[in-house]
Structure 1
Amino acid sequence: MKNQFLYLLLLASIVSCNAKKGSRALTADQTVFAEVNIVDVRSGAISPAHVIVKENIIEQILSLEEDIDFAKAKVIDGKGNYLLPGLAEMHAHIPDKAWDDPLVQETLFLYLSNGITTIRGMLGNEVHLPLREKAANQEILSPRIFTSSPSLNGNTVTTPEEAQEKVKNYAEAGYDFLKLHPGIRKHVFDSLVAAANKYGIPFAGHVSNLVGIRHALKNGYQTIDHVDGFIEGLVPKEAGVNPTENGFFGFNFTELANPNTIPELVELSKKNKVWVVPTQSLFERWFSPIPAEILVDQEEMQYMSPKTRENWVKSKKNLTAGDNFNETKWKQFNQIRYQLIKALHEDGQGLLLGSDAPQVFNVPGFSIHHEIKGMLAAGLRPLEILQIGTLNPAQYFDGNFGAIEEGMEADLILLKANPLEDLNHLKNPLGVMARGQWISEETIKEKLKQIDEKNK
């Protein structure tokens, strides 16, 4: 009788254990971030948990109290570390070479090495279409790619008919959106917009000075990049300026700009649902008083070729060597940009994190940290900056990414410390996961070392 009682007690215990919620053995096709601190980019809350990934999806998020047998799963130790959604670089560039060209592969890896798991290519080429598909199918190690068309500008679209034809061709080719550059005349722009609406392809980029910011906003750009055209839009009509004499993104009109006009432009951006990609790092590195010799000596420059570095030094000196550029005026110009950025964030459609890379002294991946620094200087809080690099791009693309939630694609950054306390903690990640593909800290260091050696 006693043995029978012990048998029943043991059986009840086994049943009870098996009935525990989440009690199961993980399998070899699963990866678990064990005991990691999840950063909730919606609220800023930090939650310790196990995060289980299967294939490219976050399958489950389980509390530390759950009874789990990691069994054959790949275990990534997250204890004491922080897990953040992957970032988006919303003004990226990709070399116009075939997908298997080493420079293309290196550029994509530089983005990934800094936790960038989504890029929006802003100067499309026909070779980027198969590259985008290979990235989507995970045939190559790459961030998620969205690509623009080739440039539409004052030289490539000189007539309404030419604009309509190019828009049709680019839409049919399958580009995600049209890239606009300066020089487009207003009547050509209007034809371009009509064709874009007809063929269902959005447009984004620069605002031609003959179009103007108000007309651009009212016609529904998907994004305006570089805060282009806004400073020109702050100049009162009675100033009677020639719009073609605006200088570098309106720099020549700095003293004429009236910041009291900012709310009007911000309201137009909100009403017409136009996002803004600031690329503030350009204006604090390339177009800034910092000497080229200091920038070219920074550690991240080792990942660029000697020829690229040489060209960047020349470009910066040519841009800032003229009599019209001086530090006092630049500070005023930059302060107006800060005001615009903060207002567009708080009261406009919103901001999308983007630095413009590779560009003069903007190394792919690494430049996002300079952009983040610029957003802090403009008055955004750390959580808000993380949101414009995660949640906002996901909303913009209507994508299944941008947060750590069950069912979302597994774009993740593992960090040593809490980025909400210091955004510098985003640098040197312990590893990056791009749609389920894990890139360890060791792999990142080894690949960066190879790129460095190649460029010596």
Structure 2
Amino acid sequence: MKTPAAFILMVFFTVGMIACKNKSSQKEAPFPTAKVFADVNIVNINNGHITKGHVVVDSGKIQRILPVSEDEADVIQEAELINGKGKYLVPGIAEMHAHLPSVIWNDPQMEEVLFLYLSNGITTIRGMLGHHLHLELKEKVANDKILGPRIYTSSPSLNGNTVTSTEQATEMVTAYQKDGFDFLKLHPGLRLHVFDQIVKTAKEVNIPFAGHVSSLVGIRHALESGYASIDHVDGFLEGLVPESAGVNPTENGFFGYNFTDKADTTLLPDLVKMTKTHQVWVVPTQSLFTRWFSPTSAEQLASEPEMEYMAPEVIENWINSKKNLTETKGYSTEQWEKFLQIRKKLLRSLQENGHGLLLGSDAPQVFNVPGFSIQHEMQAMADAGLSPLQILQMGTINPARYFREEGNFGEITEGASADLILLDKNPLEDIANMQRPHGVMVRGTWMSREQIDQRLKTIADKYDELKK
């Protein structure tokens, strides 16, 4: 049964059809199974311009973008209308530092995590700790066997424990490329000669690599080696420490925190320039540092509403992890504030003069609930001085460029995948308006706010029962 608003819109289009009956009365509707976002404010993600129109979706694609005009009524005469009047339509968001459980594709835990991403408008994820099970999951999602965001998945971790020789490096990189992983995930602890062999082999077999920068590799060598992306802004703060300081690189602490007072920000421009020269994207995951590594108490974060969608034992582990990290002799609020200011300065410079930023929050990580954490990440980007449009581009058109998929997703254009978020307020005025979407569409499947809330309640009720 249609809502009153949808009924009014149908009347509007019916009047239009009568007016042009001579040309359309005998036609079969071009998109008989279509959904139409009617009379909606369409956000151009490239320039921030907003135009009113009707967005016609069919077969998982954006088929037509029409002006608000009676002349096109015959195109959408049989469509299911989604009332967009007074609302804003933006492309679906990419979470560029996501994690997935290592379970089979149809496991309820997997379905739950994928839904949590979708509930906040995340329609693409880049899985950053791959497993062979994720290869089948990716295929099932692409073929609509399971509802979830588009998936790109890394290999299992390459780190100082999993790959200890050049022979292992060659063998593992070659195997992961043949297995079909989209890229290699690098973790800390790699020795320099092993890292170099990973890079050499990756280039030979044509597989990208991304992730952390090992302390024995260093940010400059990492950038010169051609990372696809460096995540967490890893290695950059260490790169601001002059050689004259004579520090031991392995004593850097949490992403360079221990070197905060030694950082020389006059070295920042050259470091940022290197990201542009070598075309290395950066994924900030700033919410790690404003939440897990912040002075905010674990109990306060654990009481946030979104925590009801996580298992009680997960929340308990997060509380302990945060306390173990921040309730130590070497941690102070004053040093954290200096550390955070340096990161913010890095982010602004990378946005203005670097190759580009990608939106990623590292979920699920400590107090980063899948889907919901991207809202914290966007706010952290705003707090660092980025505009709402720049933040939205980090999660839409920039990932499309990163994956060389421009025109296929990341913008509202004819022929693109129908990955869309309908919002009640203009996100270009306040990035917080991205919270609680009116509805989310992924590859043409529409989820209304009511459906999202119902599923979220089911998840919350399940975990609430476990607390009793």
- Answer yes or no: is the 8 Å Cα contact 1:293–1:313 preserved in 2: yes
List per-residue Cα deviations over 1:420-444 (Å, max 9, x = no partner): 1111111111111111111111210
Equivalents in 2 of 1:93, 1:140: separation in Å?
17
Aligned to 2:119: 113
Q: What code does the residue aligned with 2:173 have?
A: V
| 2:53 maps to which of 49, 53, 58 | 49
Q: Which runs of 4+ in 1 moved over 2 A?
A: 14-20, 23-28, 69-72
Shift of 1:454: 1.1
| 2:359 maps to which of 350, 353, 360 | 353
Q: What code does the residue aligned with 2:448 have?
A: S
Aligned to 1:423: 431
Aligned pairs for 1:140-151 (under 5 A) are 140-151=146-157
List per-residue Cα deviations over 1:158-212 (Å, max 9, x = no partner): 0011011000110000000000000000000000000000110000000000000
Give the gaps of 5 or more residues in structure 1. 1-13
- Answer yes or no: is the 8 Å Cα contact 2:382–2:431 preserved in 1: no
| 2:65 maps to which of 61, 69, 79 | 61
Equivalents in 2 of 1:445, 1:281: separation in Å?
24
- Answer yes or no: is the 8 Å Cα contact 2:31–2:58 preserved in 1: no
- Answer yes or no: is the 8 Å Cα contact 1:414–1:431 preserved in 2: yes
Equivalents in 2 of 1:351, 1:164: separation in Å?
30
Equivalents in 2 of 1:216, 1:24: separation in Å?
58
| 2:252 maps to which of 236, 246, 259 | 246
- Please state if 1:309 is matched with 2:328: no
When the two structures are superposed, what TM-score results if normalisation uses the length of structure 1? Answer: 0.95
Equivalents in 1 of 2:212, 2:103: separation in Å?
24
Aligned to 2:295: 289
Shift of 1:72: 2.4
- Answer yes or no: is the 8 Å Cα contact 2:35–2:81 preserved in 1: yes
Equivalents in 2 of 1:125, 1:187: separation in Å?
26
Matched residue of 1:369: which SS? helix
| 2:108 maps to which of 96, 99, 102 | 102
Aligned to 1:217: 223
Equivalents in 1 of 2:463, 2:266: separation in Å?
48
Shift of 1:15: 11
Equivalents in 2 of 1:227, 1:24: separation in Å?
54
Equivalents in 2 of 1:15, 1:262: separation in Å?
63
Matched residue of 2:132: which SS? coil
Aligned to 2:15: none
Aligned pairs for 1:45-444 (under 5 A) are 45-67=49-71, 68-69=73-74, 70-399=76-405, 400-444=408-452
Shift of 1:445: 0.7
- Answer yes or no: is the 8 Å Cα contact 1:31–1:73 preserved in 2: yes
Equivalents in 2 of 1:271, 1:285: separation in Å?
32
Aligned to 2:3: none
Matched residue of 2:151: which SS? strand
When the two structures are superposed, what TM-score results if normalisation uses the length of structure 2? Answer: 0.92
Give the gaps of 5 or more residues in structure 2. 1-17
- Answer yes or no: is the 8 Å Cα contact 1:218–1:272 preserved in 2: yes
Equivalents in 2 of 1:375, 1:82: separation in Å?
21
Shift of 1:139: 1.2
List per-residue Cα deviations over 1:42-70 (Å, max 9, x = no partner): 11111110100111110000001143044
- Answer yes or no: is the 8 Å Cα contact 1:26–1:71 preserved in 2: no
Q: What code does the residue aligned with 1:150 have?
A: P
- Answer yes or no: is the 8 Å Cα contact 1:26–1:72 preserved in 2: no
Aligned to 1:11: none
Matched residue of 1:127: which SS? helix
Shift of 1:321: 1.1
Equivalents in 2 of 1:402, 1:37: separation in Å?
17
Shift of 1:19: 5.5
Give the RMSD, CA atoms, in angstroms: 1.5
- Answer yes or no: is the 8 Å Cα contact 1:26–1:73 preserved in 2: no
Question: Identical aligned pairs, as a percentage?
Answer: 59
List per-residue Cα deviations over 1:217-248 (Å, max 9, x = no partner): 00000000000000000000010000000000
Matched residue of 1:83: which SS? strand
Aligned residue pair count? 442
| 1:39 maps to which of 17, 40, 43 | 43
- Answer yes or no: is the 8 Å Cα contact 1:88–1:119 preserved in 2: yes
Aligned to 1:6: none
List per-residue Cα deviations over 1:5-32 (Å, max 9, x = no partner): xxxxxxxxx9976459xx9845431111
| 1:30 maps to which of 34, 41, 52 | 34
Matched residue of 2:292: which SS? coil
Equivalents in 1 of 2:235, 2:67: separation in Å?
49
Equivalents in 2 of 1:438, 1:97: separation in Å?
26
Aligned to 1:7: none
Equivalents in 1 of 2:285, 2:225: separation in Å?
22
Shift of 1:287: 0.3
Q: What code does the residue aligned with 2:57 have?
A: V
Equivalents in 2 of 1:305, 1:409: separation in Å?
33
Task: Return the index of the structure with the highest Cα Rg.
Answer: 1
